[in-house]
Amino acid sequence: MNIRELRKVYLREEKTTFCPGCGYEIFINCFLRAVEKLGKKLDDYTFTAGIGCSAWVPNNYFRADNFHTAHGRAIPAAIGLKLANPDLEVVTIGGDGDIASIGGNHLIHAIRKNVSIAVFCLNNFIYGMTGGQVGPTTPLKSKTSTTTEGNLEEPFDLVRLVLSVGGKHASRYPTSYPHLLVKGVENMLLSPDFRFMEVVSQCPRQYGLRNEIPTASSMLAWQKRHYVSKEKARALNSGELEGRIVFGDFRSLKEYLGFLPEEE
Amino acid sequence: MQHRISIDHLLCRGCNLCLEVCPKEIFQDSAVIGSGGFRLKQVVSPEKCTGCGLCELCCPGAISLDCLPDEVFATILAGRESRRTQSQSRGGWKEVKSLLQPGRYFMTGNDAIVEAALAAGCRFFSGYPITPANEILEGMARRLKEVDGKFIQAEDEIASIFMVLGASWAGLKALTATAGPGFALMQEGLSLADMAEVPCVVINVQRAGPSTGQATRPAAMDMREARYGSHGGVERIVLYPESVQEVLDLTIEAFNLAERFRTPVILLSDGYLSHLSEKVELSEHIRVYDRIYVPGKPAFGPTPDFSAPSMPRFGDGENVGVTGSTHDRFGKRATADPSVQESLVFHLDRKILEHREELTDCEELFLEDAETAVVAFGTVGRSAKWAVKEARRLGEPVGLLRPRIVYPFPSRRVRELAGAVRKFVVPEMNQGQMFHVVSEKVSREVVSLPQPNGQIIDPRRILRYLIEGVW
């Protein structure tokens, strides 16, 4: 099936309410494609979501069992589902505020417990639905509605966070590389451990407009300048890696740290 | 191979990503401005297309690249509807055998909760350590293993309640137990349980507060919180037993009510009842209720007869969308429609209130000719019972009303009594929480007898009030 057909089959509505150029559309498409490539159907999976734009992905649109919980609580609900019925393939889809701020404690404990769920954190660097406030992944100096002169707080590196508390499968894919994102989603759905993916996504309306990358196209170009796959990163020297973020699947903190500039 | 590309202008948002991502630059703005206020996209030189699919992966469904033949796609579309795995209805009353040997046992209130929960069919527990509820957590950890149930100690009470809600949608009867501050943390999840109609049981072993207060001491300081603590404030079923035997019976009842009404049920205990050891009688057969599931039926209210809607499990293939946002009977969000919001909230209230009569469960003593009615709950009710009996022996015309089901509050019974008695007396291990509830129901004199000192109320203190009028 092409994407249009996959959406007709698996989404409850053909027309979504996401803003023009929203990266979550790319995530939806890549997710559906990955499910198809695995020979599965969307409703072979059950979903949990928190609150925010990310929650609309499964709850409003995915034609599958799904539980739209409260803000940050998608992971505990997923653990409840998985533990109560281990036959369910449980997928959590949340935002950066959802998973890393209000639900941050649930995230690290789910990793520690190594519950077999797949957590997708759709990171758009900002609280989009509530009007563009600073979040736990907002880059330094970025302007948001609550940091009008620039963000002063160091953002979380979510992949590093997950691996450093014992995560066995942490990945990061930007929406600007949809084919790689599809492959990453496939790996996520196949893995038996707790697995985590940071989907670096664009929010042109709330983040881009405030930070001089006001269109979806310019945000994808911005992603391509700043994000480099781990395969390509291997060929780069530390100078060339400076200021760039590596993406791909990572299985240990040691592997991931190999791509980071050495710390003093 | 020549690829076929088309654009559905109704679905195009004008984000221009197709123009950006296509390596062959086969998309362009046309001269036509569409109803969205942006230039419609057009495909130029489609022969250059390599079918890489980047355009469709970035597009909100407007671009169609190489469609399947209509009849093939129609078969796929038809196939998605038949995913229901269960064609049999399930649920309702059944009789089960007690897990423990029937007979007499000597156990604590907390242990009774564990045994009763298992007997009622509870197979999932998630909790976090907190005094004085710890023995429930420990007991469930030990006992659930023996019945193939699932136990998990959560990172906090918020996670506990949300794990319970998840487990409930997976089809298990689920329990959590907490106290004071932990109960406050659970209010967020309880509100979701109200809204999404998730059956579960929450034990609140009340202790003296506010805040950490006196964590090991009994109180009844969450009487109002149990009913009104959550945002939204719809009707709740709240039970409060007086003895270990009643803890046992009402815990089973709590599960049955949760399943029947598809609602969270709060069982109140306290720091006294939790650790009190008493004789209990276990019967051989126990009546339990399992939530009703009818394939294909809408999973949410409002229902025409104020009954609980059918509840599928995740995995039944109903593709149910569960949400704490306002939703219609099929779970579809309706977050701006006033009529859906109002009818849903009324449904949540009325599915309980319409069954108010059967949800009235009171112990009554000497009320036929009483001039003073003592209204007391749980542990205090037990003290009050002794005091009322003694006062009667001394010739005082007093009686006792002890609602086992605190909410929905037995308003009709209290109003009936108001026609017969001269005054109501409400002794409580708090500053007068239920006094207000009784007061707003009747126009008779209502006297508050508060004792928020972290001690159970000495029956002799109540007796002294009944005889001498001194508190």
Q: Indicate whether B194 and B271 sit together in one domain.
A: yes
Count CB neighbours of B187 within 10 A: 19
**d(Cα B275, Cα B224) in Å, to the nearest integer?**
23
Q: B166 and A84 in contact by Cβ < 8 A?
A: yes
Query: What's the number of CA atoms in the CB half-sphere (13 Å) around residue B84?
Result: 14
Percentages helix, strand, coil for chain A (3-state, rounded to 5) are: 45, 20, 40
With pLDDT > 70 as the criterion, what percentage of chain B qualifies? 100
Q: Indicate whether B154 and B279 sit together in one domain.
A: yes
Q: Indicate whether B249 and B199 sit together in one domain.
A: yes
User: Considering only CA atoms, which of A132, A208, A60, A15 is closest in space to residue B36?
Assistant: A15
Q: Please list the alpha-helical segments (H only) found in chain A.
A: 3-10, 23-37, 53-56, 74-84, 96, 104-113, 158-164, 178-190, 216-226, 230-233, 238-241, 253-257
At residue B387, the pLDDT reads 98
Nearest chain B CA: its distance from A231 CA (Å)? 20
Count CB neighbours of B47 within 10 A: 8
How many domains would you assign to chain B?
Answer: 3
At residue B168, the pLDDT reads 98
At residue A239, the pLDDT reads 85
Token pair, residue B452, equals 């928020």
Question: Residues 6 or more apart from B229 whose CB is under 8 A from it?
Answer: B183, B184, B187, B190, B222
* Residue B336 CA to its chain's centroid (Å): 25
Residues of chain A with pLDDT under 70: 263-264
Q: A25 and B169 in contact by Cβ < 8 A?
A: no
At residue B138, the pLDDT reads 98
Instruction: Please report residues of A whose CB lies closer than 8 A to that of B68.
Output: 1-2, 5
Element (H, E) at B176: strand B173-178
User: Which of B236, B268, B291 finishes a domain?
Assistant: B291
> Could you tell me if A143 and A115 are in contact, meaning their C-beta atoms sit under 8 angstroms apart?
no
Q: How long is chain A? A: 264
Instruction: Determine the residue among B18, B200, B319, B333 to mutate to test chain A binding: the one whose Cβ has the most chain A Cβ atoms within 10 Å.
Output: B319
At residue B82, the pLDDT reads 62
Nearest chain A CA: its distance from B361 CA (Å)? 33
Nearest CB to B68; choose among A5, A70, A84: A5
Average pLDDT, chain B: 96
Instruction: Please report residues of A whose CB lies closer than 8 A to that of B186.
Output: none
User: Which of B231, B259, B291 finishes a domain?
Assistant: B291
CATH H-level superfamily of A3-256: Thiamin diphosphate (ThDP)-binding fold, Pyr/PP domains (3.40.50.970)
At residue A46, the pLDDT reads 98
Count CB neighbours of A4 within 10 A: 22
Q: Indicate whether B164 and B198 sit together in one domain.
A: yes
Instruction: Determine the residue among B49, B83, B163 to mutate to test chain A binding: the one whose Cβ has the most chain A Cβ atoms within 10 Å.
Output: B163
Nearest CB to A65; choose among B124, B319, B332: B319
Token pair, residue A214, equals 């006001």
Angle at B79 between CA B77 and CA B82, to 5 degrees: 125
Token pair, residue B172, equals 């298990």
Question: Residues 6 or more apart from B470 whose CB is under 8 A from it?
Answer: B464
At residue A264, the pLDDT reads 54
At residue A263, the pLDDT reads 67
What are the residue ranges spanned by the domains of chain A?
Answer: 3-256
Q: B154 and A3 in contact by Cβ < 8 A?
A: no
How big is the A-B interface in CB pairs under 8 Å? 225
Instruction: Determine the residue among B58, B86, B160 to mutate to test chain A binding: the one whose Cβ has the most chain A Cβ atoms within 10 Å.
Output: B58
> Could you tell me if B424 and B373 are in contact, meaning their C-beta atoms sit under 8 angstroms apart?
yes
User: Which of B272, B291, B310 finishes a domain?
Assistant: B291
Q: Please write the tens of the pLDDT for every residue from B156-195.
A: 999 999 999 999 999 999 999 999 999 999 999 999 999 9
At residue B22, the pLDDT reads 96
Classify the phi-psi angles of A258: left when phi > 0, otherwise alpha if psi is within -120 to 50, otherwise beta: alpha
B328 occurs within a structural domain: no
Instruction: Determine the residue among A5, A177, A205 to mutate to test chain B binding: the one whose Cβ has the most chain B Cβ atoms within 10 Å.
Output: A5
B342 occurs within a structural domain: no
Q: Indicate whether B56 and B135 sit together in one domain.
A: no
Q: Indicate whether B39 and B109 sit together in one domain.
A: no
Residue B429's domain comprises: 362-468
At residue B147, the pLDDT reads 96
CATH code at B433?
3.40.50.920
> Quick one: pLDDT band at residue B16, thresholds 50, 70, 90?
very high
What's the average model confidence in pLDDT over B303-320?
A: 95
Instruction: Please report residues of B whose CB lies closer than 8 A to that of A29.
Output: 56-59
**d(Cα B175, Cα B169) in Å, to the nearest integer?**
13
3-state secondary structure (DSSP) of residue A31: helix
Count CB neighbours of B450 within 10 A: 16
* Residue A24 CA to its chain's centroid (Å): 9
What's the average model confidence in pLDDT over B262-267?
A: 98
Look at strands B277-282 and B321-323 and give their pairing: unpaired
CATH code at B62?
3.30.70.20
Q: Indicate whether B456 and B385 sit together in one domain.
A: yes
Burial class (CB in 10 A: 0-12, 13-18, 19+), A204: buried
Q: Indicate whether B58 and B135 sit together in one domain.
A: no
> Could you tell me if B358 and B401 are in contact, meaning their C-beta atoms sit under 8 angstroms apart?
no
Q: Please write the tens of the pLDDT for every residue from B395-441.
A: 999 999 999 999 999 999 999 999 999 999 999 999 999 999 999 99
pLDDT surpassing 60 at residue B468: yes
Q: Please write the tens of the pLDDT for every residue from B213-224.
A: 999 999 999 999
Q: Compute φ and ψ for B445, nearest 5 degrees.
A: -65, 130
Instruction: Please report residues of B whose CB lies closer than 8 A to that of A8.
Output: 73, 77
Instruction: Please report residues of B whose CB lies closer than 8 A to that of A19.
Output: 13
Q: Compute φ and ψ for B308, nearest 5 degrees.
A: -75, 135
Q: B166 and A48 in contact by Cβ < 8 A?
A: yes
Token pair, residue A188, equals 């996520």
At residue B73, the pLDDT reads 94
> Could you tell me if A4 and B56 are in contact, meaning their C-beta atoms sit under 8 angstroms apart?
yes
B331 occurs within a structural domain: no
Element (H, E) at B450: strand B445-450
Q: Please write the tens of the pLDDT for every residue from B107-133.
A: 999 999 999 999 999 999 999 999 999
Residue of A nearest to B193 (CA): A69
Query: What's the number of CA atoms in the CB half-sphere (13 Å) around residue B318?
Result: 27
Q: Please write the tens of the pLDDT for every residue from B19-70.
A: 999 999 999 999 999 888 999 999 999 999 999 999 999 999 999 999 999 9
Query: Is ipTM > 0.85 here?
Result: yes
At residue B87, the pLDDT reads 75
* Residue B362 CA to its chain's centroid (Å): 22
Burial class (CB in 10 A: 0-12, 13-18, 19+), A121: buried
Look at strands A45-49 and A89-95 and give their pairing: parallel
What's the average model confidence in pLDDT over B249-263?
A: 98
Burial class (CB in 10 A: 0-12, 13-18, 19+), B27: buried
Residue of A nearest to B38 (CA): A20
